[in-house]
Amino acid sequence: MQELLFEIGTEEIPSAYQIPAVESLKGLLVKKMEERALPHGKPKVYSTPRRLAVSIPDIPEASQKELHKVFGPPKKVAVASDGSYTEVAVGFAKSKGMDISDLNIGQTDKGEYIYVELEKGGMRTKDILKSILPQAALSLSFPKSMRWGNCEFRFTRPIRWIVAIFGGEVIPFDLNDIQSGDETRGHRFLGSQSIKVTSSSDYLAALEKNFVIAELDKRIKKVLEDAHKQANQNKAKLEIDEELPTTVACLTEWPIALWGSFDKKFLDLPEELLITSMKTHQKMFAARGSDGKLTNGFVGVSNMKVKDNDVVIAGYHRVLSARLYDAKFFFDEDTKHSLESYTEKLSKVVYQKKIGTVGEKINRFTNLAENLADNIKPELKELTIRAAKLCKADLETLMVYEFPELQGIMGREYAKIAKEPDDVCVAIFEHYLPRWAGDNTASTDIGAFVGLADKIDTLVGCFGIGLIPTGTADPFALRRTSLGIIQTITKKRYRISLSALLDIAIIQLKDKLESSVDEVKEKLLNFFEWRLKNLWVGQGIPHDVADSIIAVGFDDLALADLRVKAMNELKERDFFEALVTTFKRVSNITKNHKNGNLLKVDESLFESNAERELYSALVSTTDEVKKLINDLKHIEALEEIAKIRPVVDRLFDDVMVMAQDKSVRENRLNLLKCLALLFEEIADFAKLVAKAPG
Q: According to the model, what pLDDT value does residue 33 have?
A: 92
Q: According to the model, what pLDDT value does residue 691 have?
A: 56
Do 327 and 359 lie in one domain? The reply is: no
Do 13 and 131 lie in one domain? The reply is: yes
pLDDT above 90: residue 217? yes
Would 551 be classed as within a structural domain?
Answer: no
pLDDT above 90: residue 633? no
Do 14 and 148 lie in one domain? The reply is: yes
Give the burial class of 419: count Cβ atoms within 10 A of its Cβ; 0-12 exposed, 13-18 middle, 19 or more buried: exposed
Would 19 be classed as within a structural domain?
Answer: yes
What residue ranges in 100-151 does DSSP mark as E strands? 104-108, 111-120
CATH, residue 444: 1.10.3210
Q: Which of 429, 458, 424 is nearest to 441 (CA)?
A: 429
Q: Spell out a b/e string for 508-527, using b for 16 or more CB atoms within 10 Å of the CB, else e.
A: bbeeebeeeeeebbeebeeb
Q: According to the model, what pLDDT value does residue 580 have?
A: 83
Taking residues 302-312, report their average pLDDT. Answer: 93
Would 549 be classed as within a structural domain?
Answer: no
Do 494 and 367 lie in one domain? The reply is: yes
Taking residues 215-227, report their average pLDDT. Answer: 97
Would 532 be classed as within a structural domain?
Answer: no
Would 543 be classed as within a structural domain?
Answer: no
Taking residues 6-15, report their average pLDDT. Answer: 96
| pLDDT bracket for residue 107 (50, 70, 90) | confident
| pLDDT bracket for residue 684 (50, 70, 90) | confident
Q: By percentage, how much of the chain surpasses pLDDT 70?
A: 99
Do 379 and 262 lie in one domain? The reply is: no
Which range is least confidently modeled, 24-28, 95-99, 134-138? 95-99
Do 513 and 573 lie in one domain? The reply is: no
Do 137 and 102 lie in one domain? The reply is: no
How many CB atoms lie under 10 A from the CB of residue 493? 12
- Residue pair 391/411 in contact (Cβ under 8 Å)? The answer is yes
Would 594 be classed as within a structural domain?
Answer: yes
Instruction: Report the amino acid identity of residue 626.
Output: K
Do 7 and 109 lie in one domain? The reply is: no
Do 82 and 58 lie in one domain? The reply is: no
Q: According to the model, what pLDDT value does residue 692 have?
A: 43
Q: Of the candidates 482, 517, 552, which is a domain's last residue?
A: 517
Taking residues 84-93, report their average pLDDT. Answer: 91
Q: Of the candidates 166, 184, 209, which is a domain's last residue?
A: 209
Q: What is the C-alpha separation between 383 and 389, in angstroms, rounded?
A: 10
State which residues form the domain around 289: 216-334
Taking residues 390-402, report their average pLDDT. Answer: 96
Would 548 be classed as within a structural domain?
Answer: no
Q: According to the model, what pLDDT value does residue 694 have?
A: 39
| pLDDT bracket for residue 505 (50, 70, 90) | very high
Pairwise pLDDT comparison (277 vs 382), residue with the higher score? 382
Would 526 be classed as within a structural domain?
Answer: no
Taking residues 444-459, report their average pLDDT. Answer: 98
Average pLDDT of the chain?
92
Could you read off the pLDDT of 568-621 as tens digits, one per residue?
A: 888 888 778 888 888 888 888 888 887 778 888 898 999 899 899 999 989 988
Could you read off the pLDDT of 481-503 as tens digits, one per residue?
A: 999 999 999 999 999 999 999 99
Q: Of the candidates 517, 551, 582, which is a domain's last residue?
A: 517
Do 80 and 93 lie in one domain? The reply is: yes
Do 253 and 295 lie in one domain? The reply is: yes
- The domain total for the chain is 5
CATH, residue 666: 1.10.730
Do 238 and 269 lie in one domain? The reply is: yes
Q: According to the model, what pLDDT value does residue 690 have?
A: 61
Close Cβ partners of 293 (under 8 Å, ≥ 6 residues apart): none
